Amino acid sequence: MRKASPYLVFTANYFLVPTTVGQDFPNSNTPLNEHILHPLPHTYLSESHLPLNFTWGNVNGNSYLTRMRNQHVPQYCGSCWAHAALSSLADRVKIARSYIGLRERCKIGSNNGLQPEEKEETNDVPILGQLGPPPGPDLDLSVQFLLNCGVAPDPNVPHASLSCHGGNSLRAYEYIHSTLIFIPDETCVGYLACSSESDEGFCPKIRHLTTCDAWNVCRTCDGFSNPRTDENSVFYDGAEGAGKDGSEARDEYGCKAIPAGFPNVTILEYGSIEPNNIHAIKAEIYARGPIKASV
């Protein structure tokens, strides 16, 4: 397991277009809480500042996008909302890690475009700067952690779940920011395509792997092992603490939780862009990175 570096505990901004498809629930009529601290790019970038063609997959010959993912293996799970949310989040982390030096800053002008910076002001905002090659390796984020520690479906609260039976990316960002605080690296907990309430496929047989206990946040296994049956073993029963001889708590296969120091990402801001505001969508992508969108 790689040690955490300061830049891996990262803050950034994430935006989506709130429409619905499949297991991606729509936003409710009452907007979810947004947490926006800085001016949005469309307020300081006019259409003339945007290129005719642009993709983060090829900027000066470099791709700043993370890998494609498949929610349908090892079995189907309605977690498209989680894959989309964490993929765009990982892309923005990769972009931010690739900047060389400080990003250029500007202030918001009265014509809703860029103005030369004359003096330091509180409403200045960062814009595109010089990008170097991606520093790598990519930081993939754990979808399974979000499922393990998400929200099970509740018939009394429609479209509030964050599970294999549906979710909403904006709600996921809000939940990460206010409740979970961080998302660990994929190497902490691999994708199982099950959440705590899943009864499909093999999910009932691995309930112990879909709780939000410490070893389902980030774990490691020291080596090959047969299931342990001695009285000193601590099994996947939600128990925390050490074995009777003072050793670390482990599951029946010798795996243990990593309590701290693992790579993770945090969210500073989150919000949404109203549907059909094409300029706002383009400006957000160009200035700060990919967004989560539904069609």
For residue 272, the tally of other CB atoms under 10 A from its CB is 20
3-class DSSP state of 104: coil
Higher pLDDT, 160 or 32: 160
Please state the rounded mean pLDDT for residues 242-258.
Answer: 66
Give the integer Cα–Cα distance in Å for 217 and 276: 38
pLDDT at 273 over 90: no
pLDDT at 106 over 80: no
Residue 21's DSSP bridge partners are: 24
Q: How confident is the model at residue 135 (pLDDT cuts 50, 70, 90)?
A: confident
Q: CA quadruple 86, 89, 90, 91: dihedral positive or negative?
A: positive
Select from 266, 276, 295, 271 the least CA-distant residue to 32.
Answer: 271
Residue 126 DSSP class? E
Residue 58 has a pLDDT of 92
Higher pLDDT, 10 or 289: 289
Choose the weakest-confidence range: 121-125, 133-137, 165-169: 121-125
Residue 289 has a pLDDT of 92
Residue 211 has a pLDDT of 92
Q: What is the 3-state secondary structure (H, E, C) of 69-80?
A: CCCCCCCCCECH
pLDDT at 257 over 70: yes
3-class DSSP state of 133: coil
pLDDT tens sequence across 119-131: 344 444 455 678 8
Instruction: Map tokens 């990919």 to a residue.
Output: 290
